[in-house]
Amino acid sequence: MTGQQGNVFKEIVARKKELAGKVLILCHHYQHEDVFQFADLTGDSLKLARQAAESGEYPYIIFCGVHFMAESADILTGADQAVILPDLQAGCPMADMATAEEVAAAWDELASVCAGQAVIPVTYVNSSARIKAFVGNRGGSVCTSSNAERVLAWALKKGEKVFFFPDEHLGRNSSKALGFADDEIVVWQRGKKLGGNSVQQLRQARTILWNGYCHVHQEFLVGQIHDWRRQIPGIKIIVHPECPWEVVSEADMSGSTERIIAAVQESAVGASWAIGTEANLVNRLQRQHPDKTIRLLAQTPCTCGTMSRITPANLLWVLDNLAQKKVVNQISVDAKIAAGARLALDRMLEI
């Protein structure tokens, strides 16, 4: 720790004490430890948004995550609460791969060739508020990495097929877990007529997957799993379901960030793990469980560059402004969009 960094840390602690009872700091599991250490609550994106909504009394909520997470928090919290993102450039490349305009155009194209077949839209929580509103206003639901299979099963009771976005891999892994055959799953390729599919393929499909992805989870490969098993006999491999199907099917387990954390916590002393998810979480698990052998599945650091835009310096900048009664970088979702998005979120909670 440099002297300057130490001063920033001390100032954050002082500001937090000064603003006690007024400010709630949320940190996603993928945040670097320099920021994570100041969290009042930690978790995955939807868990944090729900905790913020349940906290009630805090007028200011600082979300150390990315833009879509702060949007979800704003949708679920009260009108008298301000949700703040310390760096407005902290976005999500996967979420940006599905814009509301692109999805609406694809939806109309799909409807033109699947007449008579009910299509239910499902969006991963890693999506913009506008996408969530699009889904909510058309009878669909949000899903998370932990409940995607349940949401898909629910949707297929309502209709003949599901249009799933923006993450192709979570959609495929969830569809395969439900027993879908390969020819029942097709990929809608952005920018291509009918998503690059024939009319017959689209009518036959049960799940139509938007071709979005998380660049971090694309870094994990089947060969890495084989290498670790050769190096450490008996090692357990757990990966996030945003990884490609080939990786998920070769791993011992897959699950959300919360599931990965629980699996490591519940394992016996001396257990060996190779984990396929963002490196900050894996590094934190190594520090928390020195009695276990924990490795990142890939040989090179796999970090979320946009999540890393949240730094102690801009966290302190937000706190300094709040101490002067100035709200900066507030994330406010339009009321009409928020209403539609809330429909999709509430459906998921009901499921």
Residue with tokens 């300094």: 320
Query: Coil, strand, or helix at residue 208?
Result: strand
Q: Is residue 165 located within the same domain as residue 148? A: yes
Q: Is residue 42 located within the same domain as residue 75? A: yes
Q: Is residue 206 located within the same domain as residue 140? A: yes
Residues in the chain: 351
Q: Is residue 114 located within the same domain as residue 187? A: yes
Counting Cβ atoms within 10 Å, is residue 331 exposed (0-12), middle (13-18) or buried (19+)?
Answer: buried
Q: How does pLDDT run across 273-294, given as a tens digit for each residue?
A: 999 999 999 999 999 999 999 9
Q: Is residue 238 located within the same domain as residue 203? A: no
Q: How does pLDDT run across 79-129, given as a tens digit for each residue?
A: 999 999 999 999 999 999 999 999 999 999 999 999 999 999 999 999 999
- Say yes or no to pLDDT of 1 above 60: no
Counting Cβ atoms within 10 Å, is residue 223 exposed (0-12), middle (13-18) or buried (19+)?
Answer: exposed
How do the residues of the chain divide into helix, strand and coil, expressed in percent and rounded to 5?
A: 50, 15, 35
Q: How does pLDDT run across 185-229, given as a tens digit for each residue?
A: 999 999 999 999 999 999 999 999 999 999 999 999 999 999 999
Q: Is residue 33 located within the same domain as residue 85? A: yes
Q: Is residue 77 located within the same domain as residue 115? A: no
- Say yes or no to pLDDT of 162 above 90: yes
Q: How does pLDDT run across 3-27, given as a tens digit for each residue?
A: 677 799 999 999 999 999 999 999 9
Packed helices 67-76 and 335-350: angle between N→C axes, nearest 10 degrees: 80
> Rounded distance, CA 14 to CA 16, Å?
5
Q: Is residue 321 located within the same domain as residue 288? A: no
Structural domain contains residue 7? yes
* Domain harbouring 251, CATH code: 3.40.50.10800
- Residue 123 tokens read as 């969006």
69-82 burial, b if ≥16 CB within 10 A, otherwise e? Answer: bbbbbbbbbeeebb
Please report the pLDDT score of residue 50 as a whole number. 82
The parent domain of residue 290 ranges over: 217-296
Q: Is residue 246 located within the same domain as residue 318? A: no
Structural domain contains residue 349? no
152-177 burial, b if ≥16 CB within 10 A, otherwise e? Answer: bebbbeebebbbbbbbbbbbbbbbbe
**Cis peptide before 166, with omega less than 30 degrees from 0?**
yes
Structural domain contains residue 155? yes
Structural domain contains residue 348? no
Q: Is residue 81 located within the same domain as residue 190? A: no
